[in-house]
Amino acid sequence: MPFDFRRALFRGPHPGWADRFDIYRKVPKDLTQPTYTGAIISVCCCLFILFLFLSELTGFITTEVVNELYVDDPDKDSGGKIDVSLNISLPNLHCELVGLDIQDEMGRHEVGHIDNSMKVPLNNGAGCRFEGQFSINKVPGNFHVSTHSATAQPQNPDMTHVIHKLSFGDTLQVQNVHGAFNALGGADRLTSNPLASHDYILKIVPTVYEDKSGKQRYSYQYTVANKEYVAYSHTGRIIPAIWFRYDLSPITVKYTERRQPLYRFITTICAIIGGTFTVAGILDSCIFTASEAWKKIQLGKMH
C-alpha cells in the first residue's frame, strides 16, 4: 500500500505528544462527585471574590493623595515673593482711617498700601471691610492693619474685628487635602478691648500640590498664635493695630496625586481568585474527607 502524505500531514504528531505539556489535567466527569457542602462553599467563594474584586476596583479607580516633607524652596520662579489675600472687617472704624502697612527685614517699609485693595463701608459708614491682595518677600516681616496712614489720628480707634480670610499663595480646594490654608478664617475679636492691639504670630509652611498630569500648584499653610495688649506711643497715646508677624519654615509639604498601576491591580485580582479557590478547595476537601470517614464509622457500627 503506497504511503499517503496527506493523511500523515492531517493526522499530526503521535497522539499524546502535546498532552505531555498540559499542566491542567482534566478529570472525567464520571469520576467527580458533587456535594451539597461543596455547592455552599462554591457560592460563598464566588461572593467573597466578588466583594474583594469590587473593593480592589474601587481602590484602583480612586485617586490617592500621598504627602512628603523635604527642605527646599519649591517655587523658585516666584522671584522671592509670596502672594497674600486678606479680608477683614472692622465694624467700628471708618474706612478713611483704615490702612495697610507692610515691612520686612529686607528694608521694605510701606505705609498705606493701596494697590489691589478695596474698602467697603459697613454699618452706614461707621465700619469698614478691607479686602486686599498684595505680595510679601520670603523673609521674616509683618503687615498690619492700622490708622498709621490716616491724615489725622483718631482719639480712640476701635480695633475690634473679624477676619474672614487670610491666605498665602494659590488657593487649593482639594477634597483629600485638609490643611491650615486659612487658619485665621472666622477669627472673631468683636468682644475684645476696643483699644487693644492684636498680634498674630504666623509660621508659614510652603506647600506643593501635584496632580496626576504633573501640574504643580504652590500654596502656603500656616500655624498661628495670638496675643492682645494695649500699646502706647512715645507721646502716651494709645495707637492700636492688628499685626500679622510672619516667618517662613524651611520644611516644604508636598501632596502628590497617585493612582494604583494597572499591573498591581491585575496581580492583586489574580492573587484573590487563586488564593480564595485554593483555600476553598482545601476546606471542601477536609469536610468531604471527614464526612466520608464518619459514614464508614457509622457503617462499621451497623455491621
Find residue 136's DSSP bridge partners. Answer: 82
Name the burial class of residue 133, with classes exposed (0-12), middle (13-18) and buried (19+) by CB atoms within 10 angstroms of its CB: middle
pLDDT of 9 strictly over 50: no
CA distance 137 to 249: 14
Find residue 222's DSSP bridge partners. Answer: 204
pLDDT of 285 strictly over 70: yes
Q: Which three cell numbers stand for residue 160?
A: 475690634
Residue range 194-223: mean pLDDT, rounded: 92
Phi and psi torsions of 156, nearest 5°: -130, 75
Residue 9's H or E segment, with its range, is helix 5-11
- pTM metric for this prediction: 0.70
pLDDT of 66 strictly over 50: yes
pLDDT of 6 strictly over 50: no
CA distance 279 to 200: 62
The predicted-structure confidence for 128-145, as pLDDT tens digits, reads as follows 999 999 999 999 999 999
Question: Is 135 strand, coil or helix?
Answer: strand
Task: Collect all residues with Cβ–Cβ distance below 8 Å to 266 and sequence separation of at least 6.
Answer: none
